[in-house]
Amino acid sequence: MSNYFGAICDEFFVSTRLHLKLELPNSRETVLHFFERVRREFPNMDRMRRRGNGGLVLEQSDESANPMWVRLDPNCLRFGEGSPPNLDQPRRLARLVLEQAPFHLSLSELDIDRLELVYSFDLDYGGNHDQLVAETFFSDHPFAGLINGDHATHVIECQPCLGVALTRECDTQAYMELRSRSTTYEASRGQFDPKPLTVSLTTRRYWSAHQVSELIAAYDDLTERATRLATDHVVPVIVNPLAHAIASRP
C-alpha cells in the first residue's frame, strides 16, 4: 500500500510523535545508549547532530538513501522515514523505538500525553497553493462567492483542517490538514517558487489509564486506522484531485 501512496505524490512521509509531559533526559550516557541501540538495528543511521532548539537527531549520513530519523526534543520523541518503499520499515523502526524508549529514557504512563502517527503527501507545485486548493475544492461551495468573486484578486489563505473522533470517548482522533507554502509576497508579484503542497493525515491517541507496555499496540492501531482512512478517503478525495489539478495546469 505504501508503494501506492508514494506513487500518487512527489514525496510520502511516515512519522510518529510521542508527546510527553516532562522533559526527556539529555545526559551523554542516556542519549548515546539509546541511539546506539537504534543503530545496532539500523546501521545506516550513523550521524548524530544537535538542532537549534537543543534537540538531538540520529539520522542517515547517506543523503542518497531514504531519510530516516529518530529525534529527541525536550518534550517529544519523534521518528520516521521519507519515501519508504512500503510500510514495513517504518513499522520496524517504530516498534524498536517504542520498545526501547521506556527503558533507556525512563518513560512511564504518567509521563505520556499522546501518541501520533502522521502520513504526509507532498505535491510539488510552482503556483499559488491557496488558489489551487480553493479552485479544486470550493468552486461549487457556498464559500465560492467569497474566495472566487470579482472582488478577490488573489486567494492568500486556504488551508482546510478537519478533525473527527474515532471513539466514543474521543481519546482516539484523526485530523486531515492541507498546508500551503505560498506567500503573500509571491502572490503580489505573480511569481511562485516550486514548493510542496502538503496533505497530512494524523491519527492520535491520548494516553489516559494505559500502560507504557501498550505503546506498540497503540501504534499498530493508529497505523491500521490511518492506512484505512488514507485509502478510503484522503487519497481519492483530497490527494488525487489535487494531483490532477496540478497536472492540468501549464
Residue ranges of domains in the chain: 2-248
CA distance 106 to 90: 23
Please indicate whether residue 73 or residue 63 has the higher confidence score (pLDDT): 73
Instruction: Of 4-8, 45-49, 92-96, 179-183, give the lowest mean pLDDT range.
Output: 4-8
Whether the model clears a pTM of 0.85, i.e. scores above it, the answer is yes
Which pLDDT score, from 0 to 100, does residue 75 have?
Answer: 94
What pLDDT is recorded for position 164?
98
Compute the average pLDDT of residues 128-144.
88
The string of pLDDT tens digits covering residues 189-220 is: 989 999 999 999 999 999 986 788 899 999 99
* pLDDT of residue 141 exceeding 90: no
Q: Which pLDDT band, with edges at 50, 70 and 90, does 2 fall under?
A: low
Arithmetic mean of pLDDT over the chain: 92
What is the pLDDT at residue 205? 97
pLDDT of residue 235: 96
The CATH code belonging to domain 2-248 is 3.30.160.110
More confident position, 39 or 62: 39
Q: Tell me the pLDDT band of 53, cut-offs 50, 70 and 90.
A: confident
